[in-house]
Structure 1
Amino acid sequence: MSVTSQRNANPDSTPARRPAGGVDPATLMRIKNLHLRAKTVVEGYFNGMHRSPFHGFSAEFSEYSPYTTGEDLRKLDWKLYARSDRYFVKRFEDETSRRCYFVVDQSRSMAFDAIGYSKSEYAKTVAATLAYFLTLSRDSVGLLTFDQEIADYLPARHRHGHLRQLMVCLERAEAGEGTDLNIPLERIAATIRKRGMIVLISDLLTPLESLRTRLGYLRSRGHEVILLRVLDPAEIELKLQPAALIKDMETNQEIVVNPQTAAAEYGRQFEKHETELKGICNDLGIDFYRLPTDSPIDTALFDLVNAQSRRGRKVIRNRNTGSTPSSGGAAG
């Protein structure tokens, strides 16, 4: 016997779109307290879901997955069906309680600011928001900030006061020197023994040769990896005035360039770099998202939930058919 919801047996069966609204990040950045920023975004996100097709998916629903045809009917939560008119199954404890590490880039280039606040401030707000959300879901969250070295490290935990400690670490993080992604990824790989989720938040303005190797090792250990690329709009589309002086944010080197020639060449190199980056993610089954710093923070929250939703569906398929999840995604 199988059960099919009359409304929609699986609300995630079609690709979800990022929300169009959300709190204006320039307004959000005026809130000095990072914890309050994160709370503002998460509460707004939940309020928005009451007006969306995903009505009912809040922290309470993090312990459930949509029913899939063929699953054991004994796992159905009928009380939840009575309230939501949709079929859900209780997920196993090892699916609902996991360790998530936020690896946050605080290198010199993250200090770039062309719109009133830096990439660093935006990245810290994204990490704080996602940590706040996952804590509501009773997941353990940890933090690693870095530039050329590891600046701060906080093991993943879920206990009273831990989220506040994580917020303090983020608030005191300052832009440092150049970027070396090898060091934090090596540290995370050596630290997380059980399968977990790793969210790398960075502008990823770094050579990609060794990135594939480090990320590939994490995936081979069974870790879920999400890349959130934070970029200022001025970095995505270069607009120069005549006789422009360009400064490298990593090396501080300055050169005078022809604006038209430089903008065209920059555009080509930028697209080449990001195409290679997306290729790495697709090959390794990693979710990749570009986050312009003028986009609402709740887009990052949506991307995380979307990635988690896909993971949930893969777990269900794997449990029913014995197949091995292998697909990743890229968006930008």
Structure 2
Amino acid sequence: MSSSILSRYLNPEYLKRVADRPIEPHGLVVGNLAGSHKSPLSGFAVEFAGHRDYIPGDDPRHVDWRLYYKRDRLSVKQYEMETNFVCHLLLDISASMRYGDESQQKLLYAAHAAMTLGYSIIGRNDKVSLATFDDQVRDSVPPGKSLTQLYRMINHLDQISPVEKTKMAECLMDLTARMGRREIVIIFSDFLTDLGALETALHGMKYSRHEIVLFQILHPHERSFEFNGMVKFLGLEETDEFLTQAEDVREGYLMAFRRHEAQLDEICRRNAIERVPLETSRNLGNDLVEYLNERLRVRVR
């Protein structure tokens, strides 16, 4: 894979900043591999399984100080009762996600966010998968936890082309049926879809006890409608064209957009789902670090 493709989806500055800010699961974690997370199970024997490098934030009680004095390196003891989690990255590649130019295109921004988080997850010896969807599930990369997994996901992203409408609810139900239970699901989309159907699909995920995070990716134009004069609007998922004076429709558009946002917020509140709004004009590294810091603060509380 060429360095130009890697740099399209990975920013070394962002990777360095998220490396010591892990995604810690807020709910139950059950797995069959040694990882860095507490098991929800108790009452079983705890068996030593090996070491891994210390990461800032690890409990000092788990540091193997004897090994430190011998090798001058901080390592953490791992046990069989410590478990891994699987994180599923689900990326909406429908036509509306191609709005925006260059680095501010929603799809590229979302893919960049997904790969940065994927890097952080793999760095903690946890598994990550990737699936893309529009009007159907297009392809998926099964869970893995090596750096090779990151290359597989990037290679998949570099081959997609957003041209179809979204049928998000149907795709999420399809993907839920392929997952295990009690895993983390992160969905990257603009969520400009039928929210009633979306809530039904999210209910299915919650029934399987998944932790769900919605990363809502929007372009600044969609939030503020910064258009003036006579403008021709072209449908990305429809073939319609709409020529109008921007000032005549701004107020109506913003009212409809705010209603949609309020409804999405209410769905997240009712279902205990995290919603992370991201805007493509903002620095992605700053926003991801802020989000990961907040997850750690919530976990500590």
Residue type at the aligned position of 1:281:
C
* Range with bigger deviation, 31-40 or 230-239: 31-40
Q: 1:277 to 1:92 in 2, by over 3 A?
A: farther
Aligned to 1:164: 151
- Find the aligned partners of 2:19 and 2:176 in 1 and give their Cα distance: 36
**Which string of whole-angstrom CA distances, capped at 9 and with x for unpartnered residues, describes residues 27-61 of structure 1?**
xxxx8323674251444415998xxxxxxxxx843
Is 1:305 matched up with 2:277? no
Aligned to 2:226: 239
- Write the mapping of 1:242-261 to structure 2, written as runs, cut at 5 A: 242-261=229-248
SS in 2 for 1:172: coil
CA shift at 1:308, angstroms?
Answer: 4.4
Q: 262, 265, 280: which one pairs with 1:278?
A: 265
Please, which runs of 5 or more residues in structure 2 have no aligned partner?
Answer: 22-52, 69-75
SS in 2 for 1:244: strand
Q: 91, 95, 104: which one pairs with 1:108?
A: 95
Aligned to 1:61: 55
Is 1:34 matched up with 2:12? no
- Find the aligned partners of 1:91 and 1:261 in 2 and give their Cα distance: 63
Query: 1:230 touches 1:293 (CA, 8 Å); kept in 2?
Result: yes
Query: 2:92 touches 2:133 (CA, 8 Å); kept in 1?
Result: yes
SS in 2 for 1:161: helix
- Find the aligned partners of 1:44 and 1:225 in 2 and give their Cα distance: 25
Query: 2:190 touches 2:218 (CA, 8 Å); kept in 1?
Result: yes
CA shift at 1:240, angstroms?
Answer: 2.0
Query: 2:96 touches 2:236 (CA, 8 Å); kept in 1?
Result: yes
- Find the aligned partners of 2:20 and 2:176 in 1 and give their Cα distance: 36
- The TM-score normalised by the length of structure 1 is 0.69
Aligned to 1:265: 252
**Which string of whole-angstrom CA distances, capped at 9 and with x for unpartnered residues, describes residues 60-82 of structure 1?**
437836x9xxxxxxx56585xx9
Please, which runs of 5 or more residues in structure 1 have no aligned partner?
Answer: 1-30, 50-58, 68-74, 83-88, 315-332
Query: 2:18 touches 2:120 (CA, 8 Å); kept in 1?
Result: no
Aligned to 2:189: 202
- Find the aligned partners of 2:82 and 2:197 in 1 and give their Cα distance: 31
- Find the aligned partners of 1:47 and 1:156 in 2 and give their Cα distance: 20
Residue type at the aligned position of 1:147:
D
* Range with bigger deviation, 118-127 or 156-165: 156-165
CA shift at 1:209, angstroms?
Answer: 0.8
* Range with bigger deviation, 183-192 or 231-240: 183-192
Query: 1:34 touches 1:125 (CA, 8 Å); kept in 2?
Result: no
SS in 1 for 2:212: strand
SS in 1 for 2:239: coil
Aligned to 1:223: 210
SS in 2 for 1:173: coil
SS in 2 for 1:234: helix
CA shift at 1:120, angstroms?
Answer: 1.0
Aligned to 1:27: none
For this pair of structures, how many residues does the alignment match? 260
Is 1:136 matched up with 2:123? yes
Give the root-mean-square deviation of aligned CA atoms. 3.1
Residue type at the aligned position of 1:173:
I
Residue type at the aligned position of 1:64:
D
Q: 1:62 to 1:174 in 2, by over 3 A?
A: farther
Percent identity between the aligned chains?
24
Query: 1:114 touches 1:234 (CA, 8 Å); kept in 2?
Result: no
Q: 1:243 to 1:186 in 2, by over 3 A?
A: same
